[in-house]
Structure 1
């Protein structure tokens, strides 16, 4: 297991806040010279601590004004049902997150839609058409307080 020291933790926190920091800016922020800083970042990437750099998008600015969490229960808890469901979800661009969970439901989806009518249509036509699904429960997100 990779040992993550306090300097590595600070690097990760800073890059989570702003992945566009240059190596020089990052090195200055952690009080390290650029070469060792760069080596640490490469090591974090190589060992899978840092898995990528992404642009955080505001869904509303893209015309997706409604965000929701959808809890999904599969008909059967088997590998073939899970594979069928996961393959179907991969094709839906409005689903931005899909996680397996414990409890009454098997999966939690985060999705974004243009309007409540659009959300309803997606739930009733596209999601309901996935044969592996037994039950769905939708929660509309009113306001996101924190995103990392």
Structure 2
């Protein structure tokens, strides 16, 4: 079966194993990847290149501990926005460094943001002075994060 226009070919089991290994350690060398999967280095390299070319792998990033990085408090901020304002709000939100992730969602709210701040005072200022007052934001709801699952493929709750 041919891949749909703009989409990659279906992933086989080896592709999925490669993605999982790289999700766990994005700095993994081709040699180590090949050894873990019992394939040649050339095979690992060509598959990783294809996964990049097809847009399955889009980049690599460091996983940061927010508290050690200076962000002692985190929250999800749910925003309702004016109709047809997604692109403008998206652009403004992307300029706020305390926003670590955002998503346009269905349901009672339109946008969900993961925000991090050094302390409660800074979080309050972020929500009340910068997010709620943003043009096209009609209402908000903030939920404090008490604990988080670790990033990576092995999700083990801390509680």
Q: TM-score range by the shorter chain?
A: over 0.9
Q: Comparing both structures, which one devotes a greater share of its residues to helix?
A: 1
Decide which of 72, 78, 90 is 1:71's aligned counterpart: 78
Please, which of 111, 116, 128 is the counterpart of residue 115 of structure 2? 111
Name the SS for the 1:67 alignment partner.
strand
Report which structure shows greater RCO (CA 8 Å, sep ≥6). Answer: 1
1:134 aligns with 2:138: yes
Residue 96 (structure 2) aligns with: 92
**Which blocks of at least 5 consecutive residues in structure 1 are unaligned?**
none
Distance 1:65 1:45 in 2: 35
Measured in 2, the distance between the counterparts of 1:48 and 1:103 equals 29
Q: Deviations over 1:91-119 (max 9, x none)?
A: 10110111000000000000100011110
Offset at residue 90 of structure 1 (A) = 1.2
SS of alignment partner, residue 112 of structure 2: strand
Alpha-carbon shift at residue 37 of structure 1 (Å): 0.8
Task: Give the distance between the partners of 2:38 and 2:48, measured in 1 at CA.
Answer: 14
Displacement after TM superposition at 1:30 (Å): 0.5
| Superposition TM-score, scaled by structure 1 size | 0.95
Please tell me the root mean square deviation across aligned C-alpha atoms, in Å: 0.9
d(CA) in 1 for partners of 2:91 and 2:52?
28
Structure 2 gaps of 5+ residues are 4-8, 153-159
Please point out which of 18, 24, 28 is paired with 1:21.
28
Q: What residue in structure 2 maps to residue 48 of structure 1? A: 55
In the alignment, is the contact (CA less than 8 A) between 2:63 and 2:151 conserved in 1?
A: no
Paired residues in the alignment total 145
